[in-house]
Amino acid sequence: MNHSKITLTLLFFFAFATGVFAQTVEVKAFPIRTLFLRPAVAAEVILNDNIGVEAKIARKKIGFSFMGVGLAETGVAANLGGRYYLNPNHGGDRAYVGSYLKYVDTKTNFPEVINNFERQKFVLGFNGGFKLVSKSGFLMDLNLGIGRSLMNNRTFNNEASQDFIDAAPSLKTDFTSSVGIGWRF
């Protein structure tokens, strides 16, 4: 799937939701992900005191060599999730539970072993977390989640041996966590 189509779809969703429903909009970045060359940004629309909808887009571009074996990986991920805030102080803050739908598209290259191992997956999962919002609008959002792959397509090139294909991860369980900082408008 074309990455620009995913980005445009998410931007359209937020433009529509912000104009029609939103009382509050938050923009977040994820600094720990950025340290590991996987930057991500998110926006959350707070529909009322207890309900929020978040969209996140992440990019991955890493490359390294360890003990003579190189690895290069590129990809994009997009999340869309809903949150229910359990006991908010200022609307859309403190503890929450929610669900998420995630799309991941990555391409991995092990030059010494195999070229062009690709994966596309859709995940449906549940998450929970805690968000702190200051009076000035600065926020910090911590969350953990677990989900299940609805689709997990893996594609190998012709050089792949059956042993490598069998050893390649095909996890159907998805774990997610994040530490986000941002601003509420």
Q: What is the CATH number of domain 3-184?
A: 2.40.160.20
Cα angle vertex 49, ends 43, 52, to 5°? 30
Give which of 70, 72, 58 is closest to 105, Cα–Cα. 58
Give which of 19, 71, 24, 79 is closest to 46, Cα–Cα. 24
Average of pLDDT values for 158-178? Answer: 75
Output the CA–CA distances (angstroms, integers) from residue 154 to 73, 77, 138, in the order listed: 14, 16, 40
Two structure tokens written together for 91: 């609307």
Two structure tokens written together for 22: 């939103």
| pLDDT for the residue 178 | 95
| pLDDT for the residue 144 | 98
| pLDDT for the residue 68 | 72
Interval 99-144: pLDDT, tens:
999 999 998 887 666 667 788 999 999 999 999 999 999 999 999 9
